[in-house]
Amino acid sequence: MSCAIRTVLLGGIVSLLVGLNACGGAKNWTDPPEWVMHRPVSSSYYIGVSSASKTQYGEDANATAKKRALADMAGQIRVSIKSTSTLITTQFKGIAGQNFAEQISSASAEDLEGYEQVGTYENATDFWAYYRLSKAKYERIRNERKMARLEVAGGYWISAENARIEGRVAAALDFYIRGLEAIQEYWSELNEWNVPGGTLDLGRACHDGISRVLSDLSLQADASTLRLSFSDRYQGTLECKALFAGAPAAQIPVWSRYNRGTLPKTASLSTNSEGICTFEIGQFEQGIKSGEIRLEIRMDDLSPRLKDSPVQQLVQDLPTPSVTIPILLVTPTVHLQTVERINGRLSASSQLKNAIAQGLNTRGIQWVERAADADMFLEMEADTREAGSASGFHTAMLNASVLLKNREGRPILRQNLIDVKGVQLDWPKAHDAAYRKAQTEIEGVFLDNLIEALYQ
């Protein structure tokens, strides 16, 4: 290799090494600007200044500092609005309550517009960002946004008023709710909207509209007390009518609930074109003598959109129409018609009749002597027969049939006692033992099955 070529190569390598050494050396950072050292203060601008650590955020330090600066500026705007806004308790005093006393209009970094970046600065450890937004400009932009939302809300309010006047309950509520949703950001403020002859506070007007719709709704039941009879197996119906401003209201959802024993029974129906819906009542458990049924028009049923709407919190305490009707399960009366025989001959005693009468009384069922006073009729025939004797012991067998009928003669229950055995040292005592054993069966499982059949 010639000397000239070696000289050129060596020169290039030396230059490259010098360059690399220069890149790896310490960077000369400029002195920080005044806004880094002392936070700016201005009566005309909202200020946002913040920093981010390069050690913690690395390449994202720049973006993090800018995001923090915008959030810092948004926080100043929140404080400014809070100090001048009319709290929502003025809008919805006595209705919304204190839950909304602290809920105010706010600004977030994502909502800001019209701001400017004044400067950025970085040193070896941190990145800084400085933003500002003209207060006059922000107020103008915010007012333009608000007026646009008020126009939307005003349109919903007009539609709601028309629907209310026309008796379209669900539509009216839906429009009022949409109106409130449209101005949610401004609930803590007076939301005046121009109407012929003056201005209207839209937040108050939409809320009052919902309250008026609910107050114009009413429920009427076709009975002040629902009496269910034993002979009808404690089943019946309750008719209910929904009215709006005194006129029948169609397609109104009505919810019902009554206690039938262990578990309550609930149902939801919608009124027909005449404003009427009819609820089926029944399936009571044994021993239930009274109860009540509650009918209610619930806000969530009238307007399903409330489930996911912030307006739910504003209207959840508004009263809705309801009516409670007592349910009386009338104690039945039973007339007993019994024939008791011993070995084919009429018995002088009435052991089984007395056992049935006592068992019915114990279970809250009245038995009567006159057939004309009865709701049901229990017919029973019983007889014993001699079944043989051995080793001085005599065995008698009793058979009995029972039929329970309603006033129309329709069978409610059929039951038999078959070969109930009585064993004693003579025949009279054997027949008596068979009747006493039959009496025990009647007082237990027999009457339980009878009562259960009546509730089916």
Do the Cβ atoms of 48 and 70 come closer than 8 Å? Answer: yes
Choose among 233, 237, 235, 260: nearest CA to 376. 233
CA dist 230 and 186 (Å) reads 60
User: CA 259 to CA 21: how far, in whole Å?
Assistant: 89
Flag whether pLDDT at 51 surpasses 70: yes
How wide is the angle at C-alpha 115 spanned by C-alphas 109 and 116, nearest 5°? 125
Q: pLDDT value at position 81?
A: 54
pLDDT at 12 over 60: no
Residue 426 C-beta-side C-alpha neighbours within 13 Å: 2
Domain 138-216 in CATH 1.20.58? yes
The residues near 186 (Cβ < 8 Å, ≥ 6 apart) are 105, 146, 149, 203
Side-chain half-sphere CA neighbours of 229 within 13 A: 9
Across residues 410-425, what is the average pLDDT?
91
Query: Strand, helix or coil at 138?
Result: helix
Q: What residue spans in the chain does CATH classification 3.30.160.180 cover? A: 333-454
More confident call, 393 vs 12: 393
To the question of pTM greater than 0.75 for the whole model, the response is no
pLDDT at 79: 62
Read off the pLDDT band of 34 (50, 70, 90).
Answer: very high
> Is 172 in contact with 139 (CB distance < 8 Å)?
no
Spatial strand order in the sheet of 45-53: 45-53, 126-134, 116-122
Q: What is the mean pLDDT of residues 313-341?
A: 91
Rounded-to-integer distance, Cα 270 and Cα 138, Å: 50
Query: So what's the pLDDT on residue 14?
Result: 40
CATH 2.60.40.10 maps onto the chain at 218-297+320-329
What mean pLDDT is predicted for residues 192-216? 93
Instruction: Please tell me what DSSP assigns to residue 131.
Output: E
Residue 162 has pLDDT above 90, yes or no: yes
Given a cut of 70, is residue 149 above it in pLDDT? Answer: yes
Phi, psi (5° rounding) for residue 229?
Answer: -95, 150
Fold for domain 333-454? Double Stranded RNA Binding Domain (3.30.160)
- Outline where DSSP puts E strands in 332-410: 333-342, 345-346, 366-368, 376-390, 393-406
Q: What tokens does 113 get? A: 């517009």
**What distance lies between CA 442 and its chain's CA centroid?**
47
CATH 1.20.58 location in the chain: 138-216
Nearest of 182, 326, 179 to residue 258 by alpha carbon: 326
Distance of alpha carbon 159 from alpha carbon 361, whole angstroms: 64
Least confident of 21-25, 307-311, 416-420, 448-452: 21-25
**Better pLDDT: 91 or 281:** 281
What distance, in Å, lies between the first and last C-alpha atoms of the chain?
A: 117
The mean per-residue pLDDT over the stretch 170-180 comes to 96
> 54-58, 128-132, 147-151, 226-230: which range is least confident on average?
226-230
CATH class of 218-297+320-329: mainly beta
What is the share, in percent, of the chain residues with pLDDT greater than 90? 59
